Amino acid sequence: MLAPYQIKKDFPILQQPHPSGKPLIYLDSAATTQKPQEVIDTMHHYYEKSNANVHRGIHHLGNRATLTYESTRAKVQTFINAHVSRDIIFTKGTTESVNLVAYGFAAKRLQPGDEIIISAMEHHSNLIPWQMLCKRHQAHLRVIPMQEDGQLDLSQLKQMLNPKTKMLAVVHISNSLGTINPVEEIIEMAHAADVPVLVDAAQSAAYYDIDVQQMDCDFLVFSGHKVFGPTGIGVLYGKEKWLEEMDPWQFGGEMIRSVTFEETTFAEIPQKFEAGTPNIAGAAGLAAAIRYIENIGKADMQQHLQDLLQYATEQLLSINGLHIYGNAPKKSAIISFMLDFAHAHDTATILDSSGIAVRAGHHCTQPVMDFYGIPATARASFSIYNTREDIDVLAEAVENVRMIFVGTL
């Protein structure tokens, strides 16, 4: 059993009060997770004791920095059970990882008239790169439709897949609805049609077991800052055969074997995709974040999140005029809601005055909002440092919004 009150103490940022004097309740972990002290300390320690550039210094500090950076690659390999560590590419985040696959891999395979499939609930960063690529190559973007409850309608997928399909990209857990998609089933269907699949694990990597070999995804992407690690570092996993085939997308130092004014030959993977000085301190922080997750254990995390999801759903649904968007049977601890009597931004502003951080807007999933015919939702997203008490405070504060707009309870 996870002890959230104990865990909360690991996160220094959550110890400070809100400017209103009320306790700070952070319910925006889908946007970014807070960082435990050991992640902050590890990054601090890196700059204090080990800072140098990687892969070039023969000196002591250069070796330490390289060891820090490369041992994180090995750490990520075991975190997602990749076959070898060279299948792990460091990027600056999920967005950059998707763009790298779009332009380094899919662009090479795309002919006019070809098709790329995404789903109706993609974050814009797993939508726009594919849309732009399709426009550039006169290809078509096709979309797996969604049902009212926020599940994908996979009955359509089989007939959507055809010899013109060159890529499928799908989100594991929706950041605006919380839906947990059956990615293994999707991958199996896509592979039956010889279509490679990218999985966006931005919302799942922190809490759900990711085994890329078992999942058999061709690419998997996530961001350090959503797994209790720092901003500015992310991961692209790719099957070795695809990474070998893929073109580098950025050029410069670190990614070459030899250079003349006429020709350049590139380094092997993963260096081929990591031009320039990488985010070494970020890598140190990411390794510390993964250690933190491993120490707590994903099974306990999931159990806690499911408990919070169930409790929060009950509490919020007991409020008159509150609607939850996204009611899939398999759902993570993300609740998008709307009040009949208040705009989502007003709701979020009033909640903030009670010390509660929720996000309001389209959550970079505008097509999901269009599907429901709404401009925005308020979104409460929970993590391991949240408690049932946080949810009680949230429910009370939403009742207060009702008081302000409607005048009665």
To the nearest whole angstrom, how small is the minimum distance from the Cβ of residue 95 to ligand 7TS? 3
Q: Which is nearer to ligand 7TS, 42 or 175 (CB)?
A: 175
* Sign (positive or negative) of CA dihedral 212, 215, 216, 219: negative
Q: Which is nearer to ligand 7TS, 36 or 229 (CB)?
A: 229
Q: Is 179 strand, coil or helix?
A: strand
To the nearest whole angstrom, how small is the minimum distance from the Cβ of residue 60 to ligand 7TS? 34
How far is residue 294's CA from residue 81's CA, in Å, rounded to a whole number? 13
Q: Which is nearer to ligand 7TS, 100 or 171 (CB)?
A: 171
Q: Which is nearer to ligand 7TS, 65 or 133 (CB)?
A: 133
Q: Is 139 strand, coil or helix?
A: coil
Q: Which is nearer to ligand 7TS, 65 or 177 (CB)?
A: 177
To the nearest whole angstrom, how small is the minimum distance from the Cβ of residue 94 to ligand 7TS? 4
How far is residue 181's CA from residue 204's CA, in Å, rounded to a whole number? 10
Task: Return the structure tokens found at 50.
Answer: 């080990």
How many residues can be counted in the chain? 409
To the nearest whole angstrom, how small is the minimum distance from the Cβ of residue 30 to ligand 7TS? 4
A 10 A CB-CB count for 49 gives: 10
Q: Which is nearer to ligand 7TS, 94 or 315 (CB)?
A: 94
The residues, ordered by sequence, that sit 6+ positions from 337 with a Cβ below 8 Å of its Cβ are 316, 322, 323, 324, 325, 377, 378, 379, 380
Task: Return the structure tokens found at 231.
Answer: 């901003």
To the nearest whole angstrom, how small is the minimum distance from the Cβ of residue 90 to ligand 7TS? 13
A 10 A CB-CB count for 257 gives: 11
What are the C-alpha distances in Å from 67 to residues 11, 83, 219? 27, 20, 25
Q: Is the distance from CB of 115 to CB of 139 less than 8 angstroms? A: yes
A 10 A CB-CB count for 126 gives: 27
For 44-51, the CB contacts below 8 A with 24+ separation are: 45/284, 46/280, 46/281, 46/284, 46/285, 47/281, 50/284, 51/280, 51/281
To the nearest whole angstrom, how small is the minimum distance from the Cβ of residue 72 to ligand 7TS? 17
Torsion, Cα of 131, 172, 98, 383 (10° steps):
120
List interacting residues with ligand 7TS (CB under 6 A).
30-31, 93-95, 123, 125-126, 171, 175, 200, 202-203, 223, 363-364
The full DSSP string for 370-402 is HHHT-S-EEEEE--TT--HHHHHHHHHHHHHHH
To the nearest whole angstrom, how small is the minimum distance from the Cβ of residue 385 to ligand 7TS? 18
Bond prior to 17 in cis (omega within 30° of 0): no
Q: Which is nearer to ligand 7TS, 66 or 347 (CB)?
A: 347
Kind and range of the H or E run holding 143: strand 140-144
Q: Annotated active-site positions, please? A: 364
